[in-house]
């Protein structure tokens, strides 16, 4: 059986340092990935994020395996630094609790199907009436308007329908989806940026607003300049695998003991590769390879020449020479190699933090750092309803009333 790696504890943030979003309250009605990841980034910046979950099972991602401390890896991954309150939003009392929370919030983020929040009395118009400064961000598959507003969608479908998948894989095979949920991740970043922009606008204008982010729109953006190439020329790009139709050599190559990826995006880097790494200055001057356009047109011919030269050298030695020469290249790594690398270990990017239910869970540090307002110390994803009592008491509900709610199934406390 494989063994999970042993991880160190995180380095604590400086005592007394402020966070970037200190004092900002986010009410989080999201589930799955895109919404929860967006609100986790806000929590990492110091916002108080209150995750509203359904009673009973909570966020469906809690049940994904393998389980650690009663939670699956996807849930642990995108719900750090949050508080959990379990409410039955189908009941009027639960809806009133949610409205009470929203009245105290700076931000509401939701990713229900179109119309669900309105049916609960929690749409933007209803909440803005009681909290005009509210920033309300709706995350959806296809947006809240248009022909697909009511349609369900997930990451791989967005990859397929946006054209992104048509650009991924090899030309002689079916299109391939990205392995990780790249559109969920990208949509989360878009949603986080959208909320931050709306908060900045509120500081200037004194008014909240309604914002939207969708998987499909994000996926269209993620097709990159290939979409612009089509719009400017009418030519539909073909899949090009690990290589590039615009530069060469750009591809996976094999050293003597493992694969590497090389990108020579201009003539200067290719000349350094040819002269300083491969000891083949003749390639730098060859009419088929000297300039980027002819080199890209002859990329297969070039690859046939350099593959045996690269395969004759150990990977570490080869990459050291490329680093010294200024040629962009790196190992093609598996996850176990990634989490044993100096980039991870020396920068403390993967740690172990106390789990809410005891023991520890792994933690992957957020991909941003603030030196003036350091990110919040990581706190593991909460157990379902862990903060129900705390949050309701902050709204003025008495212990007796909270117990009545729990007995009626309107809220759920942590077990």
**Active-site amino acid positions:** 184
Hey, is 53 helix, strand or coil?
Answer: strand
Tell me if 296 sits within 8 A of 245, measured CB to CB.
Answer: yes
Residue listed under structure tokens 């709306």: 198
Q: Which helix H or strand E contains 328, and what residues bound it?
A: none
Cα separation, 33 vs 111, in Å, equals 10
Instruction: Give just the sign of the alpha carbon dihedral 125, 128, 130, 134.
Output: positive
The phi, psi pair for 329, rounded to 5°, reads -160, 160
Buried b (16+ CB within 10 A) or exposed e, 227-237: bebeeeeeeeb
> Which tokens sit at 96?
């009133």
Record the tokens describing residue 6, joined without a space: 């042993």
Rg of the chain taking only CA atoms, in angstroms: 25
Cβ neighbourhood burial of 224 (10 Å; 0-12, 13-18, 19+): exposed
Give the Cα-Cα-Cα angle 179, 148, 212 (nearest 5 degrees): 75
287's tokens: 């009419």
Left, alpha or beta for 396 (phi > 0: left; psi -120 to 50: alpha)? left
Bond from prior residue into 249 cis (ω within 30 degrees of 0):
yes
Please name the residue that has the structure tokens 């007995």: 407
Q: What is the DSSP letter of 269?
A: H
State the distance between the two ends of the chain, measured CA to CA, in whole angstroms.
31
Q: Are strands 258-263 and 329-331 parallel, antiparallel or unpaired?
A: antiparallel
Neighbours of 402 (CB within 10 A): 20
User: Which residues are CB-contacts of 369 (< 8 A; sequence separation ≥ 6)?
Assistant: 375
**Backbone dihedral angles phi then psi of residue 270, each to the nearest 5 degrees:** -65, -40
* The two structure tokens encoding residue 356: 């809410």
Please state, in angstroms and rounded to a whole number, the distance separating the CA atoms of residues 60 and 72.
Answer: 10
């Amino acid at each position: 059986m494989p063994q999970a790696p042993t991880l160190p504890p995180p380095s604590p943030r400086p005592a007394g340092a402020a966070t970037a979003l200190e004092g900002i309250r986010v009410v989080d009605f999201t589930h799955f990935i895109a919404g929860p990841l967006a609100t986790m980034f806000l929590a990492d910046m110091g916002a108080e994020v209150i995750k509203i979950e359904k009673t009973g099972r909570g966020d469906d991602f809690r049940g994904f395996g393998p389980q650690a401390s009663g939670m699956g890896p996807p849930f642990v991954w995108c719900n750090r630094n949050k508080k959990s309150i379990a409410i039955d939003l189908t009941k009027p009392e639960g809806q009133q609790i949610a409205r009470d929370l929203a009245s105290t919030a700076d931000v509401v983020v939701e990713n229900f199907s179109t119309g669900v929040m309105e049916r609960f009395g929690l749409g933007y118009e209803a909440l803005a009436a009681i909290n005009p400064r509210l920033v309300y961000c709706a995350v959806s598959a296809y947006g809240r308007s248009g022909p697909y507003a009511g349609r369900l969608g997930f990451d791989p479908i967005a990859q397929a329908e946006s054209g992104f998948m048509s650009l991924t894989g090899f030309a002689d095979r079916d299109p391939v989806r990205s392995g990780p949920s790249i559109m969920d991740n990208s949509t989360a970043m878009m949603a986080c940026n959208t909320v931050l922009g709306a908060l900045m606008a509120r500081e200037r204008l004194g008014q909240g607003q309604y914002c939207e982010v969708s998987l499909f729109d994000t996926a269209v953006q993620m097709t990159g300049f290939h979409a612009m190439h089509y719009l400017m020329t009418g030519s539909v790009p073909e899949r090009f695998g690990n290589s590039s139709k615009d530069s060469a050599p750009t591809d996976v190559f094999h050293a003597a003991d493992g694969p590497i990826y090389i990108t020579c995006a201009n003539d200067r880097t290719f000349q350094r590769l040819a002269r300083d790494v491969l000891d083949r200055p003749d390639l730098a001057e060859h009419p088929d390879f000297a300039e980027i356009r002819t080199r890209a047109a002859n990329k297969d011919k070039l690859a046939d020449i350099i593959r045996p030269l690269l395969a004759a050298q150990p990977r570490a030695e080869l990459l050291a020479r490329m680093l010294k020469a200024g040629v962009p290249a790196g190992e093609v790594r598996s996850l176990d190699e990634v989490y044993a690398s100096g980039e991870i270990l020396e920068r403390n990017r993967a740690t172990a933090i106390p789990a809410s239910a005891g023991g520890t869970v792994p933690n992957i540090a957020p991909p941003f750092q603030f030196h003036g307002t350091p990110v919040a110390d990581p706190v593991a994803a909460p157990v379902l309803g862990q903060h129900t009592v705390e949050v309701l008491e902050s709204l003025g509900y008495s212990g007796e009333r909270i117990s009545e709610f729990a007995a009626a199934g309107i809220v759920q406390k942590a077990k």
